């Protein structure tokens, strides 16, 4: 499988950012073909980014969507709408959505079902808090999140999992390489028990939390790490593509 390097722009950017992918490509030429680069901008920028990245080998996605496909849901956007404007992936259950907007595993599963129904790929985020890791509960917490956030109807195709320890997001702190490898192995095992070994091996498992050009190589080289979900270091094409170059 190709390595997936995904940028989560969170609530950053303006219309001028739609020109970033093309400007970078013009300056640096095509990127490593073993790597897929995905940018998930704020929803209102998706159409402009899709247009701005045409022919750039860069995919565009959303950071969230509603679980219903339409209706009286003021302020929301459906998976069909993401698809309609050219988005290909939807990040779901990011720890900020879970902590600040009260998203539960059940809601994440409902959203993921809707994303799959729209022929998009859900990136389901899981990860333990610092207290849970210190208490030795990380495996159990992540296991339960995985079990309950992947919809019953999913068959394991077109699914991406992002392991993002909450305490590593935006803090500059990163788990040890051993801890990342061990959690990714644990996640692969759970996916294997649910979907079978072959399908589990084809599911892309991203690591996220303070990934930057200087630590990307050693993280991306770990077994069962198939890419990265990047916040701060993904806001500039320079550092996003520097990370992508470390995935060899």
Radius of gyration of the chain (CA): 17
**Residue 133 main-chain phi, psi, to 5 deg:** -65, -45
Of 237, 206, 218, the C-alpha closest to 91 is 206
Cβ neighbour number for residue 128 with a 10 Å cutoff: 24
Whether 178 is a known active-site residue: answer no
Measured from the CB atom, is 5 or 211 closer to ligand PGA? Answer: 211
What is the C-alpha separation between 40 and 22, in angstroms, rounded? 16
Among 3, 4, 5, 8, interactor with ligand PGA by CB under 6 A: 8
Query: Which of the ranges 12-20, 79-87, 179-187, 227-235 carries the binding residues for ligand PGA, by CB under 6 A?
Result: 227-235
Query: Which of the ranges 36-44, 150-158, 202-210, 215-223 carries the binding residues for ligand PGA, by CB under 6 A?
Result: 202-210
Catalytic residue among 36, 66, 94, 246: 94
Task: Show contacts with ligand PGA in window 146-185 (CB under 6 A).
Answer: 164, 169-170
Structure tokens at 176: 């040890």
Please, what is the minimum distance in Å from the beta carbon of residue 88 to ligand PGA? 18
Among 24, 231, 237, 244, interactor with ligand PGA by CB under 6 A: 231
- Asked whether the CA dihedral 63, 207, 216, 133 is positive or negative, the reply is positive
CA of residue 167 relative to chain centroid, distance: 17
Please, what is the minimum distance in Å from the beta carbon of residue 13 to ligand PGA? 14
Which residues are annotated as catalytic?
A: 94, 164
Task: Give the residues lining the site for ligand PGA (CB under 6 A).
Answer: 8, 164, 169-170, 208-211, 229-233
């Amino acid at each position: 499988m190709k390595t997936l390097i995904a940028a989560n722009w969170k609530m950053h950017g303006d219309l001028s950012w739609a020109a970033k992918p093309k400007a970078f490509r013009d300056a640096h030429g095509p990127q490593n073909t073993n790597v897929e680069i995905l940018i998930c901008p704020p929803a209102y920028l998706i159409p402009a980014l899709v247009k701005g990245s045409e022919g750039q080998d860069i995919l565009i996605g959303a950071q969230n969507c509603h679980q219903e496909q339409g209706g009286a849901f003021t302020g929301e956007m459906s998976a069909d709408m993401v698809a309609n404007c050219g988005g290909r992936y939807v990040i779901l259950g990011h720890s900020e959505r879970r902590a600040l907007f009260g998203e539960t595993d059940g809601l994440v599963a409902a959203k993921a079902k809707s994303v799959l129904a729209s022929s998009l790929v859900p990136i389901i985020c899981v990860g333990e808090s610092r207290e849970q890791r210190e208490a030795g509960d990380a495996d159990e917490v992540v296991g339960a999140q995985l079990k309950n956030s992947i919809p019953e109807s999913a068959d394991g195709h077109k699914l991406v999992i992002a392991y993002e320890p909450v305490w590593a997001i935006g803090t500059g702190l990163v788990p040890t390489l051993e801890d990342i490898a061990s959690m990714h192995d644990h996640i692969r095992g759970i996916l294997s028990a649910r979907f079978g070994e072959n399908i589990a091996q084809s599911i892309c498992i991203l690591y996220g939390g303070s990934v930057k050009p200087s630590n990307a190589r050693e993280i991306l080289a770990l077994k069962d790490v198939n890419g990265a979900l990047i916040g701060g270091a993904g806001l500039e094409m320079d550092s996003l593509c520097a990370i992508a170059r470390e995935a060899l």
